[in-house]
C-alpha cells in the first residue's frame, strides 16, 4: 500500500488524445481479420472482375484505360467505408459495454473524445487505402500521380468527414441494427453511384444534375484528379463542399456530445 | 472549510417522469469514510451518476473539493474517482491496458502511468493477470480491476458503488482492509453497499436515502444509539407448547427449537436465561437476528414506505 501513489496529477489533453488513438489502433489491428483483410480481398475482386475481365471490353473511360479509371474510386471507396465503419462500431460498442463511461468521468474534453475517435477512423481508412493502392499495383503497370497535394488532402479530409459521420451514427444508435442501416441503405448506394465505376459525363444531363447532389461524386472526382488530372467537377467546389460538411458534422457531434445525447440520461 | 463533497437541493426527474431525487442535501468532510445507504431504486445510483457526470441533473448544486460541477467540471473530475456497480470496461481489453488507458484519459503519461499501475495491480492481486483479457477474470477480480482503474489518478474522493457485491467473504474482508488503509492515507471514501455490516464496521458517517429523499444523515455512533431494541435468535434443545410469560421480554417461537426474543435497550440478557431455565429450556446458542445497523435501516426504510403510501393514498 505504501508504494501506491496517492498524489494527484494534472495531465494534458495531448496525452488523452494519444491514449484514444492508441486504443483505437490497438482495437482495429487486434481484429485485423475483420478490419484490414476484407477490404483487401473485396478490392482485389473488383480489380479482377471489373478491371481485368469486364474492363478489357469496356475500353476507355474519360480517355483512360478502364482499370486506371476505377483505381482512384476504389481506393476512395475503401477509405470512406473503413473510416465510417471503424468509428461507428468502436464508439457504439463502447456505448454498449458502457466503457465510454471511462472517458465520461475523466476530465478529457468532448472535442478530444471526438478527435480521438475520428483520428482512429482516419488511420484505419488510410491504412486500408494504402493496402488497396498496393493491391492495385498488381493490376496496372504504374500508378501515375498528377498532384500529390490534392491527392493527400482530399483523402485525408474525406476520411475525417466519414469518420465523423460514423461518430454521429453511433451517438444516435440504440442497437447493433442501427449501426448497419446507414452503411447499407445510404453509404453503399451513394458510393456506387458516386462515380467510382463511371464518368458522370456518360449520363443524360438530367441524371448528371441529380448525381451532383451526391457528395461522394465530389470526393471521388477530386481524388481521381490527384491521380490522373481528370475530374467531372470543379476541384475548388469539391474542397469547399468537404470542408463545409466537416464543419457542420463537427458542430453537430460536439453539440450532441455536450448534451450527452445517447450517453447521459 | 471546503468539504470533500457538497450537494444541495439536488433534483433529478427522468424523461419518463420518474422523480429519482427530490432535493437532497449532503455534505461529506475531507478524510471521511461515508456510507450512502438505501434500498434498490432509492436514488443512490442517480446521485452518484450526477456527481460523476454520467447523469444530467434537473436542479441543484454539486461541489467536489470546492469545485462546482457546473462551472469547474475539469477540476471536479480530477478530484473524483468512481468504482461503479456494474462492470463497465471493454471485455476484450487487457487488465493493464484498461488501467493505463484510464490514466491516459486523465492526461497521465505512459511512463508515469506504468509506475502507478504496478503497485496498484500488485496490491489488488491482479499483477499476474495484467496481460489477460478482462473477460477472463473472475467476478471478484473484475471488481478489483474497477478499483485499480478508479484509483490510477489518485483521486482525493473515491466513490465505491457496491464494490463488494457478489464477492466471497474472504475477499470482501481483504477489500475492507484495503479501503480502510486507503482512507487512513487521506482518501475520502463514499461507500454504497447492501452489506450493512460493511458500512457499520468501515464508515464514520452515514446518510440513508429512500424514495429520493435523505431520511437520515448523522454519524454512525449516534445512529446506532437510536436503536432501542435488539432481536436475538436462540437455538434450544426443544421448546414447550407455551412460552414463559411476564418475563419482561417479547418472545416468539420460530420453530420447534428456535426462539426469537426482543430485548429493549438497557435491559440485560441474563433474564432471558433465568426465565428459560425455570421452564427447563436448554439454550444451545444465541445470536443477533440482524446486525444493529440493519435493524435501524429496515425500520427507517419501512417507515419511509409507510409514509409515502399514506401520501399516495391520502
Q: Is the dihedral of CA A110, A112, A117, A119 positive or negative?
A: positive
Q: What is the mean pLDDT of chain B?
A: 89
* Angstrom distance (rounded) from CA B105 to CA A26: 16
**Bigger pLDDT: B8 or B304?**
B8
Q: Given a cut of 80, is residue B294 above it in pLDDT?
A: no
B145 shares contact with chain A (CB less than 8 Å): no
B133 shares contact with chain A (CB less than 8 Å): no
B86 shares contact with chain A (CB less than 8 Å): yes
pLDDT in tens, B84-106: 999 999 999 999 999 999 999 99
* Angstrom distance (rounded) from CA B154 to CA A73: 51
Reported confidence tier of residue B311, pLDDT bands at 50, 70, 90? very low
CA neighbor of B152 nearest in space, from B108, B187, B188, B185: B108
- When CB atoms are compared, the residue of B49, B108, B151 closest to A11 is B108
Buried b (16+ CB within 10 A) or exposed e, B225-241: eeeeebebebebeebee
- When CB atoms are compared, the residue of A4, A19, A101 closest to B104 is A19
- When CB atoms are compared, the residue of B77, B91, B123 closest to A105 is B77
- When CB atoms are compared, the residue of A14, A16, A27 closest to B105 is A16
**Cβ contacts of A23 on chain B, cutoff 8 Å:** 93, 101
Q: Mutate which of B107, B144, B160 to test chain A, going by most A C-beta atoms within 10 A? A: B107
Q: Which residue of A has its CA nearest to B121?
A: A4
pLDDT in tens, A93-103: 999 999 999 99
Average pLDDT over residues A198-221: 88
Please state, for a pLDDT cut of 90, what percent of chain B lies above it: 60
ipTM of the complex: 0.87
Are B154 and A7 inside 8 Å of each other by CB? yes
Reported confidence tier of residue B290, pLDDT bands at 50, 70, 90? low
B115 shares contact with chain A (CB less than 8 Å): yes
Q: Which residue of A has its CA nearest to B182?
A: A1
Whether residue B208 contacts residue B300, with contact meaning beta carbons closer than 8 Å, is answered with yes
CA neighbor of B77 nearest in space, from B110, B37, B50: B50
Average pLDDT over residues A134-147: 86
**Cβ contacts of B90 on chain A, cutoff 8 Å:** 93-94, 97, 99
Reported confidence tier of residue A156, pLDDT bands at 50, 70, 90? very high
pLDDT at residue B312, rounded to an integer = 38
Which residues have C-beta within 8 Å of that of residue B72, sequence separation ≥ 6? none
B164 shares contact with chain A (CB less than 8 Å): no
B134 shares contact with chain A (CB less than 8 Å): no
Please state, for a pLDDT cut of 90, what percent of chain A lies above it: 63
Q: Mutate which of A1, A15, A28, A105 to test chain B, going by most B C-beta atoms within 10 A? A: A105
**Bigger pLDDT: B281 or A86?**
A86
H-helix or E-strand containing B249? Answer: none
pLDDT in tens, B127-148: 999 999 999 999 999 999 999 9
User: What residues are paired with B82 via a beta bridge?
Assistant: B159
B17 shares contact with chain A (CB less than 8 Å): no
Strand order in the sheet with B250-253: B250-253, B258-264, B229-236, B283-288
Reported confidence tier of residue B266, pLDDT bands at 50, 70, 90? confident
- When CB atoms are compared, the residue of A26, A99, A264 closest to B89 is A99
Quote the pTM value.
0.85
Which residues have C-beta within 8 Å of that of residue A2, sequence separation ≥ 6? none
pLDDT at residue B310, rounded to an integer = 42
**Cβ contacts of A97 on chain B, cutoff 8 Å:** 88-91
Average pLDDT over residues A124-136: 94
- When CB atoms are compared, the residue of B55, B105, B122 closest to A265 is B55
Amino acid at each position: 500500500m505504501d508504494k501506491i501513489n496517492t498524489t494527484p496529477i494534472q495531465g494534458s489533453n495531448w496525452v488523452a488524445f494519444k491514449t484514444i488513438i492508441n486504443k483505437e489502433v490497438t482495437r482495429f489491428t487486434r481484429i485485423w481479420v475483420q478490419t484490414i483483410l476484407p477490404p483487401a480481398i473485396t478490392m482485389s475482386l473488383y480489380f479482377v472482375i471489373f478491371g481485368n475481365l469486364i474492363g478489357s471490353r469496356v475500353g476507355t473511360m474519360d480517355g483512360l484505360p478502364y482499370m486506371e479509371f476505377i483505381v482512384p474510386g476504389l481506393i476512395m471507396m475503401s477509405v470512406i467505408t473503413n473510416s465510417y465503419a471503424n468509428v461507428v462500431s468502436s464508439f457504439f460498442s463502447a456505448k454498449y459495454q458502457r466503457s465510454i463511461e471511462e472517458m465520461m468521468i475523466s476530465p478529457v474534453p468532448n472535442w478530444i473524445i471526438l478527435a480521438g475517435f475520428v483520428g482512429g477512423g482516419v488511420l484505419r481508412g488510410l491504412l486500408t487505402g494504402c493496402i488497396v493502392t498496393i493491391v492495385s499495383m498488381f493490376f496496372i503497370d504504374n500508378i501515375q500521380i498528377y498532384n500529390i497535394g490534392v491527392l493527400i488532402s482530399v483523402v485525408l479530409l474525406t476520411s475525417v468527414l466519414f469518420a465523423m459521420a460514423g461518430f454521429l451514427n453511433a451517438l444516435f444508435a440504440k442497437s447493433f441494427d442501427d449501426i448497419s442501416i446507414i452503411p447499407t441503405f445510404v453509404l453503399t448506394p451513394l458510393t456506387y453511384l458516386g462515380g467510382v465505376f463511371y464518368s458522370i459525363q456518360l449520363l443524360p444531363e438530367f441524371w448528371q444534375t441529380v448525381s451532383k447532389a451526391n457528395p461522394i461524386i465530389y470526393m471521388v472526382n477530386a481524388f481521381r484528379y490527384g491521380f490522373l488530372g481528370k475530374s467531372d467537377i470543379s476541384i475548388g467546389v469539391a474542397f469547399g463542399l468537404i470542408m463545409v460538411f466537416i464543419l457542420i458534422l463537427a458542430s453537430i457531434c460536439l453539440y450532441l456530445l455536450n448534451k450527452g445525447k445517447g450517453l447521459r440520461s | 472549510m471546503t468539504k470533500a463533497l457538497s450537494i444541495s437541493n439536488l433534483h433529478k426527474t427522468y424523461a419518463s417522469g420518474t422523480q429519482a431525487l427530490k432535493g437532497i442535501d449532503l455534505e461529506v468532510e475531507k478524510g471521511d469514510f461515508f456510507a450512502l445507504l438505501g434500498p434498490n431504486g432509492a436514488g443512490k445510483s442517480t446521485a452518484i451518476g450526477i456527481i460523476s457526470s454520467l447523469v444530467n441533473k434537473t436542479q441543484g448544486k454539486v461541489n467536489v473539493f470546492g469545485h462546482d460541477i457546473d462551472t469547474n467540471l475539469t477540476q471536479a473530475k480530477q478530484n473524483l474517482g468512481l468504482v461503479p456497480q456494474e462492470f463497465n470496461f471493454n471485455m476484450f481489453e487487457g487488465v493493464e491496458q484498461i488501467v493505463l488507458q484510464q490514466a491516459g484519459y486523465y492526461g497521465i503519461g505512459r511512463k508515469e502511468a506504468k509506475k502507478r499501475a504496478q503497485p496498484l495491480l500488485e496490491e489488488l492481486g491482479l499483477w499476474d493477470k495484467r496481460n489477460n483479457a478482462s473477460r477472463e477474470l473472475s467476478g471478484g477480480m473484475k471488481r478489483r480491476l474497477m478499483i485499480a482503474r478508479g484509483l490510477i489518478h489518485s483521486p482525493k474522493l473515491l466513490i465505491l458503488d457496491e464494490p463488494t457485491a457478489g464477492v466471497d467473504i474472504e475477499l470482501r474482508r481483504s477489500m475492507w482492509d484495503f479501503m480502510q488503509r486507503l482512507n487512513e492515507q487521506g482518501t475520502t471514501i463514499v461507500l454504497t453497499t447492501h452489506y450493512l455490516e460493511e458500512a457499520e464496521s468501515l464508515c464514520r458517517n452515514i446518510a440513508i436515502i429512500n424514495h429520493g429523499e435523505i431520511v437520515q444523515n448523522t454519524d454512525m455512533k449516534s445512529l446506532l444509539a437510536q436503536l432501542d431494541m435488539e432481536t436475538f435468535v436462540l437455538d434450544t434443545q426443544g421448546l414447550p407448547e407455551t412460552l414463559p410469560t411476564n418475563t419482561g421480554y417479547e418472545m416468539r417461537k420460530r420453530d420447534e427449537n428456535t426462539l426469537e426474543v426482543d430485548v429493549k435497550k438497557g435491559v440485560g440478557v441474563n433474564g432471558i436465561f433465568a426465565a428459560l431455565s425455570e421452564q427447563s429450556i436448554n439454550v444451545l446458542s444465541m445470536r443477533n437476528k440482524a446486525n444493529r445497523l440493519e435493524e435501524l435501516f429496515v425500520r427507517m426504510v419501512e417507515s419511509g414506505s409507510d409514509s409515502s403510501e399514506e401520501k399516495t393514498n391520502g
